[in-house]
Amino acid sequence: MITDDRRFVEAINRQRLVAVARDLVDDADPEVAAFARAALDACGRIADRVAAERAAVVERLRANEIAAEPVDDVDPPLHHSIELRVPDVDAAERAASALAEDGYEPSDRWTGGAHRSFRRTADVLTVTRTTDCTVVVRLRWRDRPPPSLLARVTRPSAADYRAIALPEALSPVYRLVRPVRLLADRLGLRPRFEGGLGPFLGTPADLIEPLLDVADVGPDDVFVDLGCGDGRLVVAAALSRGCRAIGVESDPALAATARRSVDAADLGARAEIVHGDARAFDLTAVTAVFLFLPIGVAGGLVDVLLRRLPRHARLVVHEQHGLPAPSPAAESLAVVSRESVTVAHRWIVGP
Ligand SMILES: C[S@@+](CC[C@H](N)C(=O)[O-])C[C@H]1O[C@@H](n2cnc3c(N)ncnc32)[C@H](O)[C@@H]1O
């Protein structure tokens, strides 16, 4: 179900959908009440799935003699994400290896100085497993006080580790990489989004068709998923809408997976996977663009894309977050399916 009711959109953005839907379930407006019921059903299924995944993960860690305590969410989660407390960074790394047996992979694999710096400065290691949706497990080993300004500008991030590979002996230099990158950003000395469009998280399978509806994808469209991951949107768009569908993916392994999936669907020339940088992709013949990215990155990209897209093209970004300011005004829609929830932001390129 899809609604532009601000109360549901805001509720998802603030991770308060269950409380808001409970208040609206008996609303006099039957459409509002129906959406509230669907939202509660979806949230219930997400909570059940998260509980089952969490139990399996804790059991796997226990079998490997790794202590792990679930960190309770204040509100029921709206996505498939689990946070566990482990004793220290060694336990977190052992846990990541143990969970590999169940198909979980670390979001990032650092080596050399980046790995050493990560072990010294980080507090959480994230592993993910993607099937019909992506389950995210955060292994946290210490709480941090709210970061001071100094900590915020010097604490290395994944983008800093990606920006430059330093040997182990130079790992403390990462504390300088961040301020230098921030300054270069400020001065406009490096291209924005240099850090990439974010890690792979699959759009939940049951959200794909509703999101294609939001983008109003039909047989005459040229649909592009920028950062297509395993190609799930590309295959779905070509199969269910009969349109030409293209996926652009910078990660070679994911691009290969997406190609295999396109080949398996036997879509011929209708679907194509391009291995490359989405920011360089020529959009002149494209009529519908899809993005599922960290909202900070997506928000910054929207301006650029809207300038490069032809008239009447639709751009849809989905995330459980509001758009960062300043973003061009969008129509924001709450989307709820059987076991998933998101907010879709839509722009239509004007004359
Ligand atoms: C959140 S995933 C979304 C995957 C897919 N669109 C979906 O919704 O299931 C973002 C994807 O963007 C890819 N990516 C990140 N930076 C990129 C870039 N500069 N060019 C192309 N792909 C990129 C990542 O490898 C990842 O697969």
Q: Which residue has the higher pLDDT, 324 or 39?
A: 39
Least confident residue range of 15-29, 153-167, 214-228, 247-261: 153-167
Band of pLDDT at residue 181, cut at 50, 70 and 90: confident
One domain for residues 27 and 129:
yes
213 membership: H or E segment, kind and range? helix 205-214
Ligand 1 and 250: CB distance under 6 A:
yes
For 81, the domain range is 2-140
Phi-psi group of 202: left, alpha or beta (phi > 0 → left; psi -120 to 50 → alpha; rest → beta): beta
Residue 177 falls within a domain, yes or no? Answer: no
Cis before 210? omega within 30: no
Band of pLDDT at residue 199, cut at 50, 70 and 90: low
Q: Which atom of ligand 1 is nearest to the CA of 198?
A: 15
CB burial of residue 98 (10 Å; 0-12, 13-18, 19+): buried
- Ligand 1 centroid to residue 198 C-alpha, Å: 6
Ligand 1 and 204: CB distance under 6 A:
no
User: The pTM is what?
Assistant: 0.88
Average pLDDT over residues 248-276: 93
Domain end: 140, 157, 179, which one?
140
Residue 155 falls within a domain, yes or no? Answer: no
- Ligand 1 centroid to residue 296 C-alpha, Å: 14
**What pLDDT score does 98 carry?**
97
**What pLDDT score does 325 carry?**
76
- Ligand 1 centroid to residue 251 C-alpha, Å: 8
Ligand 1 and 113: CB distance under 6 A:
no
Least confident residue range of 184-193, 251-260, 272-281, 311-320: 184-193
Pocket test residue of 129, 135, 197 for ligand 1, highest count of atoms within 8 A of CB: 197
Residue 90 falls within a domain, yes or no? Answer: yes
Which CATH number goes with the domain that contains 68?
3.30.460
Question: Has residue 250 got a pLDDT over 50?
Answer: yes
Ligand 1 and 158: CB distance under 6 A:
no
Average pLDDT over residues 218-245: 97
Separation between Cα atoms, residue 127 and residue 81, nearest integer Å: 10
Domain end: 140, 160, 176, which one?
140
- Ligand 1 centroid to residue 232 C-alpha, Å: 12
Average pLDDT over residues 264-291: 93
Number of structural domains the chain divides into:
2
One domain for residues 213 and 113:
no
One domain for residues 135 and 209:
no
**What pLDDT score does 285 carry?**
93
